[in-house]
Amino acid sequence: MAIEIERKFLLCSDVWRAEVIRREHYAQGYLANTDLSSIRVRVCDERAWLNIKQVVPGSQRAEYEYPIAVVDAREMLENLCEGHRIEKSRHQVYCGDDLWEIDEFEGVNQGLIVAEIELQSARQTFERPRWLGREITDDLRYYNNMLAVKSRHMVGWVEFESIGLLCPCFADEFEGGKAF
């Protein structure tokens, strides 16, 4: 079984923009979304994947991903994912040796920006970038599958949460520059 270990955070400033090394646009839709798992199709440029992911709160989830033909993926997005799609720009930024992926959502989720880091183990430490805000790893509302389905209900909530995007990073969220 493939296990993804990932932590998610809101951002407290936009200084990360000056550090972006790569930007890609993603369109993704959900073919199935249950309490246990989601099945997603994703397109980025001329690449596409089918992804099956466990839906549980926390940093560790089962995940399986398979490349598929772009033409098939685009047809699935168009014909099978109506009302269950999201689009986002993914920015890659290094902080020390760690690669961060920062997703800037579009459409009805515009304004929501989430930073993610993939880890080798749940106990792995990492340098906490100065632009990192509140951790949302355990908050299912920020999972892409939930944003795709509930996005029309999320807009007001995202605007409320965006107050946190501009707040200072609190020292009690990390120890000695390392997230815990």
Reported pTM: 0.82
C-alpha 73/C-alpha 123 separation (Å) is 36
Domains of the chain: 7-170 (2.40.320.10)
C-alpha 155/C-alpha 163 separation (Å) is 13
Whether the CB-CB separation of 167 and 12 falls below 8 Å is answered with yes
Write down the pLDDT at residue 35: 87
C-alpha 15/C-alpha 179 separation (Å) is 19
- Per-residue pLDDT for 174 more than 70? no
Give the tens place of pLDDT for each residue, 111-127: 899 999 999 999 999 99
Give the tens place of pLDDT for each residue, 22-80: 999 999 999 998 889 999 999 999 999 999 999 988 899 999 999 999 999 999 999 99
C-alpha 91/C-alpha 83 separation (Å) is 25
Identify whether 94 is a catalytic site residue.
Answer: no
Active-site entry in 26, 30, 64, 142: 30
Whether the CB-CB separation of 113 and 136 falls below 8 Å is answered with no
Can you say how many angstroms the Cα of residue 8 is from the centroid of all Cα atoms in its chain? 7
114 membership: H or E segment, kind and range: strand 113-118
Q: How many residues are given for the chain?
A: 180
- Per-residue pLDDT for 162 more than 80? no
Write down the pLDDT at residue 57: 86
Write down the pLDDT at residue 167: 31
Write down the pLDDT at residue 150: 66
